[in-house]
Amino acid sequence: VKEFAPLQSFGNVSGFFTFGAFYSTGESAYLLNNTMTLLSLSEKTGNEALPRYTHPETDTKRFSTFKALSHLLTVKESEFSTYHGYLEERERLLCKGPVVNFKFELGEVLRCSYISPNIRKMLGYGAKEFLCNEVSPQMLFDDETWEALRKAFERYLADDALTFEKEIRVRAKFGDTKYLHLFAATEKNRAQKPAALIGYCIDITQRVESQQKIQKLAFYDHVTGLPNRELLKSTLATKIEEAKAEGKLCAVTFFDLDKFKDVNDTYGHAAGDKLLQMIANRVRAVLKKEDFIARIGGDEFILIQGGLSRNGVQTTIYATINRILTIVHEPFNIDGKIAHISTSIGTAIYGIDGESVDDLIRHADMAMYEAKKDPDVHFKFYSQRMRFQRESHLALQNALKDAVREKRFHLLYQPQVDIHSGKIVGAEALMRWNDPVLGEISPVTFIPLAEELHLIVELGEWLLEEVCQKIAYLQNRSKLPGNFRSIAVNISPLQFADPYFVSKVEKML
């Protein structure tokens, strides 16, 4: 309309709206005073004074200019550019950004009414596939994940919470696994019933995979891929709590490999690692899904079996142990080298043999060492007798170490008599130990223990020095019979292995 032309004299104009009445002569339309407002996106107002005109009814001339304007708002080209840039940026975010927005209508069937285009980048499915219901939950989730998500959403609706938030595992279109952080809220209808679910999701796959790698380094053995000691302890604590709550039993089975060191020494540590991996794979293959197996170091493994009924618990454990014994005793082919391994196994049961994590592991370890003493058995259940024996053995070890350090031994000399003349021709030095707490300890007990603790060399040197001093003492006082030949002493094979043994004896003499 020609009356709009004068707008350009006030500045760049983007548009206008009118409110009021038009004056018409039948051929042309005219605007009445105060009937039009001109707007721009910048919402800047112009305050210039406008000329006053007479009403067209009192002025016979057709007016070609506006009688009045309520507001004049100017718009700069740069502001239009900014606005269009915002629209373009919004479109880029919806198509390529990391956040996927969605809306699902709630009803008998969950229906997608909106999802942003960048869903294709996230999961491989296009927005149209969601809008046309071509993507089902079974395509996105495994049964366990979908069931957990469904139950969590039902709890959210039942609690009437403000927001729903969850991390979920999703199967993308081409089979790869994605992890998403889901955040949503319900949109209610007029009856204040949930009608739709609106929200967004973010791809957190990289973060989750990084956390999984860190967890694997912290809680899994790098050789076998089995859980390590730390994860074992936390898992056992959980199993104990479950058994306590359910009135069940929990079995802890400790086993190690007999003569595994021979494989390492003969074929090298790389072969030893391969053997451990093969054993881990074999054992996992014969266990139930709910059983837990960990490598706690070296050639030692621990198995946890939870939720066991009191009736027939030993039968259940025996069945598992027999499967392990069978597959471990089969030969192993390590890069063409055949290795034969056996194992010793001990089991302690929560509710019978202990109540805590440490007690159960320690008692299973005791049972395993008892089994190791009997190569024909390979397996034993823990008993109180084992604990008493272990505690006694430990007390004896400590007492022997103190006795060696403080020289608490004494010697008895058993005469050697010539059967023809009846005269003493020599003697044998016999070591004896009388502990102030444990009493008289037989050499049959403390000599093997001294060898086990590598104390026998120090103990043997003391014995030789004592005998040499005794011989010198008797010789100086002319108390040895003329036909007295020698004093015999017992020497441990470990002493003969000492390269300086002969020189030490010569020095004593």
Cα 168 to Cα 100, 182, 216, 394: the distances in Å are: 14, 7, 20, 52
Question: Residue 411 class from Cβ within 10 Å (0-12 exposed, 13-18 middle, 19+ buried)?
Answer: middle
**Does residue 80 fall inside a structural domain?**
no
CATH number of domain containing 315: 3.30.70.270
Verify that 277 and 250 share a domain, yes or no: yes
The tokens of 206 are what?
A: 């990289």
Identify the CA nearest to 253 among candidates 218, 220, 286, 225: 286
Q: Determine the Cα–Cα distance for residues 309 and 316; give it in Å rounded to an integer.
A: 9
Verify that 46 and 190 share a domain, yes or no: no
Domain count, the chain: 4
Predicted local distance difference test score (pLDDT) of residue 34 = 42
CATH number of domain containing 107: 3.30.450.20
DSSP string for residues in 35-88:
-EEEE-TT-EEE-PPPPP---TTT--SPP-S-S--S-EEE--HHHHHHHHHHHH
Predicted local distance difference test score (pLDDT) of residue 41 = 39
Tally Cβ neighbours within 10 Å of residue 479: 9
Predicted local distance difference test score (pLDDT) of residue 59 = 47
Verify that 244 and 358 share a domain, yes or no: yes
Cα 330 to Cα 272, 340, 406: the distances in Å are: 16, 7, 50
DSSP string for residues in 133-182:
T---HHHH--HHHHHHHHHHHHHHHHHT-S-EEEEEEEE-TTS-EEEEEE
The answer to whether the CB of 257 falls within 8 A of the CB of 299 is: yes
Q: Determine the Cα–Cα distance for residues 296 and 303; give it in Å rounded to an integer.
A: 10
Predicted local distance difference test score (pLDDT) of residue 503 = 83
Predicted local distance difference test score (pLDDT) of residue 75 = 47
- Give me the domain span that covers residue 115: 90-209
Residues of the chain with pLDDT under 70: 1-94, 96
Predicted local distance difference test score (pLDDT) of residue 63 = 38
The answer to whether the CB of 496 falls within 8 A of the CB of 460 is: no
Q: Determine the Cα–Cα distance for residues 261 and 379; give it in Å rounded to an integer.
A: 20
Identify the CA nearest to 261 among candidates 269, 253, 249: 269
Verify that 252 and 295 share a domain, yes or no: yes
Verify that 200 and 234 share a domain, yes or no: no
Predicted local distance difference test score (pLDDT) of residue 191 = 87
**Does residue 216 fall inside a structural domain?**
no
Verify that 321 and 359 share a domain, yes or no: yes
Identify the CA nearest to 378 among candidates 339, 324, 333, 332: 324
- What does DSSP assign to residue 130? H
Predicted local distance difference test score (pLDDT) of residue 33 = 45
Domain boundary among 28, 50, 75: 75
Predicted local distance difference test score (pLDDT) of residue 87 = 63
Verify that 267 and 344 share a domain, yes or no: yes
Verify that 130 and 48 share a domain, yes or no: no
Give the predicted TM-score (pTM) of the model: 0.57
